[in-house]
Structure 1
Amino acid sequence: MVHLPPFALDHWLSTYDFATPPIAYNLASSTGPRWSVADICALGDAPLAIDDTILSYAPPEGSRALREAIAAFHDTDPDSIIVTTGASEALSILFCLGAQPGANIVLPDPGYPAYEAVAQAWGLATRSYHLRREDRFIQRADAILAQVDADTALVILNTPHNPTGTVMPRIEIEALAAALAERGVPLLVDEVYHPLYFTAPQPSAAGIPNVIVTSDLSKALSLPGLRTGWLIDADADRRARIIDARSYFTISGSPLLERLATHALQQSDAILARLRSVAQANIAQLDALIAGSGGRLAWVRPDGGTTAFPWFTDGRDSRSFCQTLAAQGVLLAPGDCFGHPAHMRLGFTQQEEGLATAVGRIAAALTAI
């Protein structure tokens, strides 16, 4: 039987977010402001009615309407898109297909904890390229390529990056993908936080040769409850294998969720406008928090995405600090969930109101240490 390590991040989040009552100020989440079904259906000039949806199966690759909406979002070909049950299923399918004896994948550290755990569950070895705070967590092609060997089946790049918020420009992604192509290794670009940028906006990596893109509705589009993700892959043979795997894994998506997802993507400008408004207001408050911390906290200001990864400058473990704040109704994610205990992941886009109160409590707790 495969042994999966405890998912420390999800254990931490679910302990507080699903409590009764739930946490008052959630600054640990990596999603955006919340939407109801009624909110989503009401978007646009022609509100969506869903009560006539037939609750049958959907095509394993996703409905044509949904794939066309995803294609418009990424400016790519709808035939290159396969819908999945969240980006998590997309990752699991790719790891499954790449799981040859002795194979490895290359992934970022810090990074989304499921990369390593799920890859190893499929029998893949993992090799990490390190994002260093003294280098502003920049994702560098040379550091990535240094971890690639003859057994590498896949390289993962996450941009905007969780948890640090760094961004690799498209021109650098193109160069990295080309270098990997010479070694016969595909590049997976995880774009779940695209297109939220605080510096120069970046186009999607979809369409770059030797790149597979994965994304979903959960993060930048703020709709995790729709459990809708996708892969974008120009390789027709690999797409056929992915569709077969999806048929084995989950058969298909839900027609009801696919209709909601299609409508949400067609109205993505409104969803993203709300996200950007919240993000811009809230990141300014975090600027003030770090500047006023008396040197106790430092950070690399995110270039994109919904999270930051500040750290205690004296190197202390952040868990007790996070526990203290959770008892006061403010949730941060301790850095040990990412293998970096002096850090904290701070999500700044779900909390549409009340961030000033939460920041005040964080500032007060800092003065007590």
Structure 2
Amino acid sequence: MVNLPPFALDHWLSAHDFATPPIAYNLASSTGPRWSVGEIAALGDAPLDLTDTVLSYAPPQGSAPLRRAIAAFHGADPDHVVATTGASEALSILFCLAAEPAANIVVPDPGYPAYEAVAQAWGLATRAYRLERADGFTQRVEAILAEVDAGTRLVILNTPHNPTGSVMPRGEIETLAAALAARGVPLLVDEVYHPLYFGAPQPSAAGIPNVIVTSDLSKALSLPGLRTGWLIDADAERRARIIDARSYFTISASPLLERLAAHALTHASAILDRLEAVAGVNIALLDELMAGSRGKLAWVRPQGGTTAFPWLADGRDSRSFCQTLASAGVLLAPGDCFGHPAHMRLGFAQQTDGFDFAVGRIADALAAL
């Protein structure tokens, strides 16, 4: 019997964001500003008409228009793209294909909690490389390679990183991928927050030898309700196995969702413009919050993505602080959901209105500590 641990992060989010009434200011979310179906369909010169969509199956690898749109977004070959039901299915497929006795994968710590839980459900051990806050949560090639051993079948790099916002430059990704290739280990680059960067923009890792890229519409593209993700893999043999696995897991996506997804990707610049505008204004407000916290709250300013991972400077567990804020209508995610109790995840890209008010409530709660 597979024993999946309780998904503490989703339990916390669901208890508040889906409550009646829902939380007023959701700063725990890791997505961008919300869009309606009508707003997405209206993008471009020719609004999307979905009324002629046949509700049959889609190809297991995804429709050709969707794969072309994904490829254009990453600067990749459409033949290398496999659509999935969110990035979560992409991860599960890769873990399934990597599973064998005594095998392990290497994951970041802190990191997205599902990496470890789902890998272990497939029978894979996990080895973690630590992102140290004293080092700016930098993801270092040597620290990652130090965790690779004879049983390693996959290494995961998440850049921009959830929850810290750190970014590994492309040149270092190339160095890491080449070093892993010499050991026969593929590098999975999770790019769900690409291309939101607060410094120099960075191209996708798609096309780097020995790299598999996974991403989705949920995070930087702000459309989690479309449940559309993908893998980009130049290895034709492994890609065929991925498509077979997708056929077994979910058969295909909905043609309706795939048409919406392809349309959204075709007009990704409009979606990203809105994301960058909201994130830019809100991260400036966080700068002010941190500067005015009188040393009670510390952080490493994110280099990319939609989340930060601040911590209470006195080292106390943040859960009670997050509970106090939730009672005041402001939702943060306590750090124990990521195995780091003094921290909290703070999302700054979904809340288009009232972020300044929410930050004020955080400042008031800090003053009362």
The interval holding the TM-score normalised by the smaller chain is over 0.9
In the alignment, what sits opposite 2:62?
62
CA distance in 2, matches of 1:279, 1:18: 23
- For 2:178, the equivalent position in structure 1 comes to 178
Same amino acid, percent of matched pairs? 81
Q: Match for residue 306 of structure 2? A: 306
**1:137 maps to what in 2?**
137
Q: Which residue of 1 aligns with 2:82?
A: 82
Q: What does residue range 34-183 of structure 1 map to in structure 2 within 5 Å?
A: 34-183=34-183
Secondary structure in 2 aligned to 1:365?
Answer: helix
Q: Distance in 1 between matches of 2:201 and 2:279?
A: 15
CA offsets 1:224-253 (integer angstroms, 9 cap, x no match): 000000000000000000000000000000
State the partner residue of 2:333.
Answer: 333
User: In 2, distance between residues paired with 1:186 and 1:147?
Assistant: 14
Q: For residues 310 and 138 of structure 2, what CA distance do their matches in structure 1 show?
A: 15
Secondary structure at the aligned position of 1:204 is classed as coil
Residue 318 (structure 1) aligned with residue 318 (structure 2): yes
Match of 1:201 in 2: 201
Return 5+ residue gaps in structure 1 as ranges. Answer: none
SS at structure 2 position matched to 1:68: helix
What pairs with 1:228-239 in structure 2 (closer than 5 Å)? Answer: 228-239=228-239
> Could you tell me which residue of structure 2 aligns to residue 354 of structure 1?
354
Q: Give the Cα–Cα distance (whole angstroms) in 2 for the partners of residues 319 and 52 of structure 1.
A: 49
Query: Who is 1:10 aligned against?
Result: 10
Q: Deviations over 1:253-307 (max 9, x none)?
A: 0000000000000000000000000000000000000110010011000000000
> Which residue identity does 1:196 align to in structure 2?
L
Distance 1:261 1:108 in 2: 29
How far is the alpha carbon of 1:51 from its aligned partner? 1.2
Report the alpha carbon displacement of residue 222 of structure 1 after superposing the two structures with TM. 0.1
State how far apart, in whole Å, the 2-side matches of 1:7 and 1:245 are. 24
SS in 2 for 1:192: coil
Deviations 1:100-121 (A, max 9, x none): 1100000000000000000000
| CA distance in 2: counterparts of 1:330 and 1:48, whole angstroms | 36
- Aligned AA (2:138): I
Aligned partners of 1:183 and 1:76: how far apart in 2?
25
Q: Distance in 1 between matches of 2:99 and 2:76?
A: 28
Match for residue 264 of structure 1?
Answer: 264
Report the Cα distance in structure 2 between the residues aligned to 1:214 and 1:252, rounded to whole angstroms. Answer: 17
Q: Distance in 2 between matches of 1:243 and 1:284?
A: 43
What is the deviation of 1:11? 0.2
Q: Distance in 2 between matches of 1:356 and 1:196?
A: 21
Determine if the alignment matches structure 1 residue 28 to structure 2 residue 67: no
Shift of 1:52: 1.1
For 2:366 and 2:151, how far apart are their aligned partners in 1?
46
- So what's the TM-score if we normalise by structure 2? 1.00
CA RMSD, 1 decimal: 0.3
Runs of 4+ that moved beyond 3 A = none
- Structure 2 counterpart SS, 1:172: helix
Q: How does 1:290-305 map to 2 (within 5 A)?
A: 290-305=290-305
CA distance in 2, matches of 1:15, 1:49: 36
Matched AA of 2:63: S
TM-score (structure 1 length as normaliser): 1.00
Separation in 2, partners of 1:305, 1:11: 23
1:283 aligns with 2:318: no
